[in-house]
Amino acid sequence: MDLSALNPAQREAVLHVQGPLLVLAGAGSGKTRVITHRIAHLLERGVEPGQIVALSFTNKAADEMRERIAKMVGKKRAGELVLGTFHSLGAWMMREDPKGFDVPKRFQILDQGDVYGVVRSLLREHGYHGPASKRRFDLGAIVQRISLWKNDFLSTEQVKNIISSNDYDDIASELYDSYEDRLRSLACVDFDDLVCRIASHLQEDADCQQRWRERFRYLLVDEYQDTNTAQFQMLLELLGPERNLCVVGDDDQAIYGWRGAKVANILGFDVYFRDAKVIRLEANYRSKPPITTCANALIVHNTSRHDKELVPARRGGEKVQIVVTRDGPMESSWVADKIYELVHKERIPGREIAVLYRSTRQARIVEQNLQEHGIAFRVLGGQPFYDKKEVKDATAYLKCLVMPSDEIAVRRALDTPSKGIGRKTVERLGMWAESHDKRLIDAVHHVAEIDGIGARPRHAIERFSQQIRHAQGQLHQTTAAEALRNLLVEVRLRDNVLKDTGSGEATQNRWSGVEFLLNSVDKFERRAWDKQAKPKWNEYLGNLNLKKKDEDEEPPDLVTLSTFHSAKGLEWGNVFILGVEEGTMPHKRTEAPRLSDAISGDIEEERRLLYVGITRARDRLWLTRATTRVDRGRELEVLPSRFLNELPDEDSGVIEQYDVRDQEKLTTQTMEELADAFMSQLAGSGTRP
């Protein structure tokens, strides 16, 4: 394999294949090239593809990695590699060895929406939700706490001993046991279980651990700074005696502490593995020198970090501009005007422009200004495609056809569209199924035998039963996609979407997601038939919950609006960063008391967040701030961010300050002078104005 295209540090990382390795990969340092070349080098040395595990944090990143490797070693060998996310690896291991990981053979994976449904039901059962409750609780705050505790391997007893004066901590700890019991009764796991359960069972079962350690010889993790406690433990349990663990990451880009990521994992790697080789990738191939100079000057103020700096490989570049405006509307107006100038005067493609911000609320007025200019844009960080209600509803009906043992899917299909079947009726169906050791769908088909169900809901359930049986019968004559399409017409799901939207155009936009699902089902079936095999619906539907909307579906030439978190891993030629002020960047919550570690409350993480934003820019960068903001109807003065004081000063030659207020004063002064001159001219001519 030709390694001549790699720099010395990259080459060293590729060739060091035995023992623990920490690759500190600065922004824009070509880490993906290192990862793919390293895997290709292992294959060249005779390592079997199935013995190599490479993990990233998105399916999209894993797919891109596989495509690159396929170009180097061929599709067949690349296809045999174990590439994916921690969660997809956990799901695959559970399906391969359900007994070893104590899960049902046909377990289901709850997506976020289903988890919310379970928690909502438990809140109702515990008297915290419904008409009798005096307060409505934020489901996300409760789900987040349970997730954080699970990933830190805290038992329900340990959680109850945590001293807290916060209602959410108390309620989440009260529901924790019930939540785990409910997952067991539903034969389901949530996303956290896909990692936590793997780590726990490997630690507890020596035979199971040995089997998997013999299967995997080389472990490689990308974006290692984003790993949490459970993911680190999972790696340790899979790590064999050779300890061939290579982790690639950048502690300066650790920005997910709020969701449980532990920057200590990367900071302490060479402490935990005393013999670890540490290689720094510092050459930056992305940004012009003024941008890397600002990034280096900012991040050096963090004390908890590995010592390194970005060394630009490019030359030249314009100064980084700090733009000061009077208020928020002026800030967004200036940014939109500048983008218009870039697009229409400099002919820069919209896809090369991004506006980044700390909070999504900052984007609203920018969106409005861009629309007024007729500039097309996209907003990153939206709802995942498969989490959209109409797609989840259609998926529930698919599960009723091909995997009717999924109780949650049957409950959802019974409920949507509304059929007049109440919660108590569904509970009676569930009780009958449990007492007869049957599935919920069996209770649906035997509703005539169940006492206590009124005539109207009984008739609705019988009709639902007939619809499902009829569609299942079609599976023997046509494709599942076509049977599902016919079923959705029969239950009038599209009419239900129209009822929600009240608009034909809005309905079409939402229904396009269902059409995408139908096409996906059709393609999955056809791939199975091409291999002369039956479609593995358990695998398809299990992985469906792990997928996210592919951003490549977006039209290519759009200006991007994004939070810092959603922008990580992306880059643009021209970047605007909004609201570099105290209270926004860093956020005002940063120094507030923590609530059970649910908020990171970390100034250093806020600094890393701005660092990530700065290093997204290749050619030009603007940092904007206002001197006043409106808060709850009052105009308040805001201070410049402390981070601006950490950047080089104007004498450095890399920073330039531009005060829009001066331009405004100049314009006002010029207008006044013109008016005075005009009035003088009129007075001299004896003409009355």
Is 677 inside a domain boundary? Answer: no
Residues 423, 492: one domain? Answer: yes
Domain harbouring 182, CATH code: 1.10.10
For residues 393 and 469, membership in a common domain is answered with: yes
Residues 316 and 349 in one domain: yes
Tell whether residue 481 is among the known ligand binding residues: no
Measured at the alpha carbon of residue 548, what is the angle toward residues 598 and 393, in degrees to the nearest 5?
A: 100
Question: Do 453 and 332 reside in the same domain of the chain?
Answer: no
Question: Which of 186, 210, 237 is the endpoint of a domain?
Answer: 186
599: confidence class by pLDDT, cuts 50, 70, 90: very low
Residue 50, annotated as binding a ligand: no
The residue ranking higher by pLDDT, 187 or 287, is 287
| Per-chain mean pLDDT for the chain | 88
Task: Provide the token pair at 682.
Answer: 């009129």
User: In this structure, are 396 and 358 located in the same domain?
Assistant: no
CA 554, 555, 557 angle in degrees (round to 5)?
A: 125
pLDDT digits (tens, 9 = 90+) for 52-80: 999 998 888 888 999 999 999 999 999 99
Which residues on neighbouring strands pair with residue 559, listed in sequence order? Answer: 377
d(CA 246, CA 47): 15
Adjacent-strand bridge partners of 322: 623, 657
Tens of pLDDT, residue by residue over 136-167, are 678 888 999 999 999 999 988 888 887 666 78
Please tell me whether 257 is known to bind a ligand.
no
Instruction: Give the pLDDT score at 672.
Output: 60
Q: What pLDDT sits at residue 502? A: 62
**pLDDT beyond 80 at 135:** no
Confidence of residue 548 (pLDDT cuts 50, 70, 90): very low
613 is in an annotated binding site: no
The answer to whether the annotation marks 32 as part of a ligand binding site is: yes
Inside any domain, residue 64: yes
Residues 409, 520 within the same domain = yes
Q: What is the pLDDT of residue 522?
A: 87
Residue indicated by tokens 């991007």: 560
The reply to whether 70 and 158 lie within a common domain is no
Determine whether the annotation assigns residue 19 to a binding site: no
Residue 470 is predicted with a pLDDT of 95
Distance CA 416, CA 497 (A): 10
- What region, left, alpha or beta, does residue 337 occupy, with left being phi > 0 and alpha being psi -120 to 50 degrees? alpha
Q: Dihedrals φ, ψ of 326, to 5°? A: -70, -45
Contacts of 29 (CB under 8 A, 6+ apart): 281, 282, 283, 284, 285, 310
- The answer to whether position 430 is within a domain reads yes
Residue 443, marked binder? no
Count of domains forming the chain: 4
**What average pLDDT does this structure show over 445-474?**
94
Is 377 contained in some domain? Answer: yes
Picking from 281, 297, 330, the residue at the C-terminal end of a domain is 281
pLDDT tens, position by position, 234-246: 999 999 999 999 9
What pLDDT digit, counting tens, does each position of 301-340 carry?
Answer: 999 999 999 999 999 999 999 999 999 999 999 999 999 9
Mean pLDDT value of segment 175-185: 91
The verdict on whether residue 78 carries a ligand-binding annotation is no
Same domain, 156 and 89: no
Single-letter amino acid code for the residue at 589: R
Contacts 24+ apart (CB under 8 A), 165-168: 166/595, 166/596, 167/137, 168/137, 168/138, 168/141, 168/142, 168/595, 168/596
Active site residues: 31-32, 222-223, 253, 616
pLDDT digits (tens, 9 = 90+) for 645-687: 999 998 888 999 999 887 766 555 555 665 666 667 666 665 5
Task: Answer yes or no: do 636 and 601 share one domain.
Answer: yes
Name the least confident of 160-174, 187-201, 372-386. 372-386
Whether 479 is in a domain gets the answer yes
Task: Answer with the residue of higher pLDDT: 638 or 157.
Answer: 638
Q: Do 166 and 127 belong together in one domain?
A: yes
The alpha helices in 3-49, defined as continuous H runs, are 8-15, 31-44
Q: 3-state DSSP call for residue 463?
A: helix
> Which pLDDT band, with edges at 50, 70 and 90, does 216 fall under?
very high
Residue 144 confidence (pLDDT):
92
Residues 212 and 65 in one domain: yes
The pLDDT of residue 594: 36
Please tell me the least confidently modeled range out of 262-271, 275-284, 362-371.
362-371
Lowest mean pLDDT among 416-430, 561-575, 592-606: 592-606
Residue 412 maps to a domain: yes
Domain end (from 186, 221, 246): 186
Query: Does one domain contain both 33 and 22?
Result: yes
Domain that holds residue 149: 110-186
Q: Confirm whether 152 is domain-assigned.
A: yes
Distance CA 292, CA 309 (A): 9
* Cβ-proximal residues to 521 (8 Å cutoff; 6+ apart), any chain: 398, 479, 480, 481, 484, 540
Look at residue 238 in the predicted model and tell me its pLDDT.
Answer: 96
List the CATH number of the domain containing 325. 3.40.50.300
297 belongs to a structural domain: no
